[in-house]
Amino acid sequence: QKGGYKHFMLKEIFEQPKVITDCLAGRVDWNRMEVTLPELAALPVPKRLHIVACGTSYHAGMWGKHLLESWARVPVNVEIASEFRYRDIILDPADMVLVISQSGETADTLAALRIAREHGVKVAGLCNVVGSSIAREADAVIYTQAGPEISVASTKAMCSQMVLLTLMALHWGRNTGALSETVRANVLQTLKKLPGQLETVLPAMRDEAQVLARTYSKAKSFFYLGRGHCFPLALEGALKLKEISYIHAEGYASGEMKHGPIALIDPDFPTFALALNDELFPKVKSNIEEVQARRGKIIALTNPGVELKVDHPWSIPDAWGPMAAFLVLPALQLFSYETADYLGKDVDQPRNLAKSVTVE
């Protein structure tokens, strides 16, 4: 069942190239370089999109906001379902709520969907489980086609949600006329080669993760830093580390460090920085230097040719714009996986956690 892998989590991380291929199948016409999402055809482009989800699915939503706002110019509000449901929320009939849920059964997310429908707002669901409650109750459902996810820690499901959010941004960007031809071509060309690229790099990524995991497994706490679309990935990296290795980890927007958390930095409190070769790199670099000035150790996920002096630079291949996230995500997942496995934790069944949270 585990296909020769030690744990389901590892198998599911390595399934991501196939997940990307499956999510794109039938949705991208590669000859005409066009995206078709028939699931959304009956719904107009929303005036404002409210993305509501929990945990890892919430992080996918936060990441998707960057693309949807930039490429489709649709304003996006991303909210944790357990907050959304108890807030005096302002919804306009021209808005749309997008609930993201791998299981389609998360109690808070389902409650948010019902609230939105009571307000007369259209609800689209991004779900992995066919026929789940959220899939049944949403006005439109887009299946993420990641296949069953057995490990409690969500990995490939997030990857699939990110592919679909990318396609939604392209689809709406076309409809609103906001999307430039260049961006569309860059995104689609990147997506096309991504499965092959990922397939090639995953084994080496795992080796690197293993070495780093051994070096850092004694840490009691970790910071994860990122900016822009890498901020939600930093949150996700921290969530993965704490849930399976039980090492305390906090994800932070790099620029927020100096507003308090940097006080915690000392030689025993390492930082995992997302320092890709993009337009925010100079800013991230200066945040890293602030941490180093407090003698904090740094692992930096970065790209070839980047000038950065840190304890452990971890170079991953380049990918265009926010599509780089598809290479960052498995690196974060593998680092957590290897740390938890090295520490002898029950990777697939972490303590106190359930795969689907059907209670509030």
Task: List residues near ligand F6R by CB under 6 A.
Answer: 54-57, 101-103, 106, 109, 153-154, 239, 243, 356-357
Which residue's CB comes closest to ligand F6R?
55
Strand partners, 49: 76, 96
Catalytic-residue membership of 355: yes
Smallest distance, Å, CB 141 to ligand F6R? 14
Helix/strand/coil for 225: strand
Smallest distance, Å, CB 80 to ligand F6R? 10
Which residues, including other chains, have CB under 8 Å from residue 204's CB and lie 6 or more apart?
none
CA distance 302 to 306: 7
Specify whether the backbone of 283 is left (phi greater than 0), alpha (psi in -120 to 50) or beta: alpha
What burial class does residue 360 get, using C-beta atoms within 10 Å of its C-beta: 0-12 exposed, 13-18 middle, 19+ buried?
Answer: exposed
Smallest distance, Å, CB 359 to ligand F6R? 11
Catalytic residue among 2, 192, 283, 355: 355
Which residue lies nearer to ligand F6R by CB, 264 or 354?
354
- Write phi, then psi, for 128 (nearest 5 degrees): -105, -25
Q: For residue 165, give the nearest of 53, 42, 68, 79 by alpha carbon.
A: 68
Which residue lies nearer to ligand F6R by CB, 57 or 303?
57
Smallest distance, Å, CB 164 to ligand F6R? 13
Which residue lies nearer to ligand F6R by CB, 51 or 179?
51
Which residue lies nearer to ligand F6R by CB, 102 or 302?
102
Q: Which residues are catalytic?
A: 355
